[in-house]
Amino acid sequence: MILKRGHSLAPIYQTYDFNDFLIGTSNYQNPIETGVWHSHEKPVISLVLYGTNTEYRKGREVERVGGSINYYNSYELHRNVYTTFPSKHINLEIDDTFLKKYDFTEESLALAVAKNYNARFTFIKLMNEAKINDLQSYNAIEMLFVAFIENSLNFKDEILFPKWMLSVRDLLNDRWDENISLKEIADKVNVHPTTISKNFRTYFQCTLGEYSRKLKIDRSLDLLKSKQYSLTEIAYICGFSDQSHFTRVFKSISGYLPKEYSKV
């Protein structure tokens, strides 16, 4: 089965058409029969907002969970068996007109998805702009998506990372809910603080502080969807000083207020 532009196998889906690309959501609220082999007429990038599914492609099987992002070449055959409900995805279909405008290829898209650690927030912001859907939305979405691709293409391969920078990354990821000082990080990896400050953006396309905040907000996304905690509790769990600080940072990174995101 080949899905035409703007179509989905999901029982509930919504699309926003911006000519060069189409942004939409696919929603599986209740258990239904899934797993139909299909492909898409246009290249598609899909982010799992929440839920799980097992994806099958030629020669491989992948478990997709919240935060997973996948790229599909046009006419690439695959199927998805949904295992947790509700499940919801953000999908971006890209037209040839967009690729030609910026001299991108389908290989560029595949590489961007493979290398971009910031994809979850980019696609949440894309969805937010699509829902606003005013005269500025196209430019905002285009800028976000172009930056997503360019940043990924400029992102250094891990094999090029100095060992001390990999140690910095691992330390930040392991202690994501703490507010670690630059001096403590420098002491742990035995590198001068100035060296870390000067070089961090080269490898991560953001500052040390921005990276730490994104880690905290990324962890908060699933907590918000679980609806088991208050905003004050989530702010504490994720290492923020208070709820208002958490709310400000969440809005700046995702484009949503926490309560708005919990309803997406």
Give me the domains of the chain, ranges plus CATH numbers: 2-154 (2.60.120.10), 159-261 (1.10.10.60)
CB contact at 8 A, 212 and 173: no
Residue 162 burial (CB count, 10 A): 13
Q: Please give the distance of CA 169 from its chain centroid, rounded to a whole number.
A: 18
d(CA 29, CA 18): 26
SS3 call for 170: helix
Instruction: State the pLDDT at residue 150.
Output: 87
> According to the model, what pLDDT value does residue 151 have?
82
R_g (Cα) of the chain, nearest Å: 19
Quote the CA–CA distance of 81 and 31 in Å, as a whole number.
Answer: 11
Amino acid at position 47, single letter: L
- Look-up of token digits 């919504």: 14
Q: ∠ at Cα 134 (260, 97), nearest 5°?
A: 110
Contact between 80 and 40 (Cβ < 8 Å):
no
Q: What is the pLDDT along the chain (264 residues), one digit of tens a residue?
A: 999 999 999 999 999 999 999 999 999 999 998 999 999 999 999 999 999 999 999 889 999 999 999 999 999 999 999 999 999 999 999 999 999 999 999 999 998 898 877 788 999 999 999 999 999 999 999 999 999 998 877 766 666 789 999 999 999 999 999 999 999 999 999 999 999 999 998 888 889 999 999 999 999 999 998 889 999 999 999 999 999 999 999 999 999 999 999 888
pLDDT at residue 197, as a whole number: 93
Cβ contact 45:16 at 8 Å: no
CA dihedral defined by 46, 50, 53, 58, rounded to 10 degrees? 20
d(CA 43, CA 45): 7
Residue 211: is it exposed, middle or buried by C-beta count within 10 angstroms (0-12/13-18/19+)? buried
Half-sphere exposure of 99 (CA within 13 A, CB side): 15
| pTM of the predicted protein model | 0.88
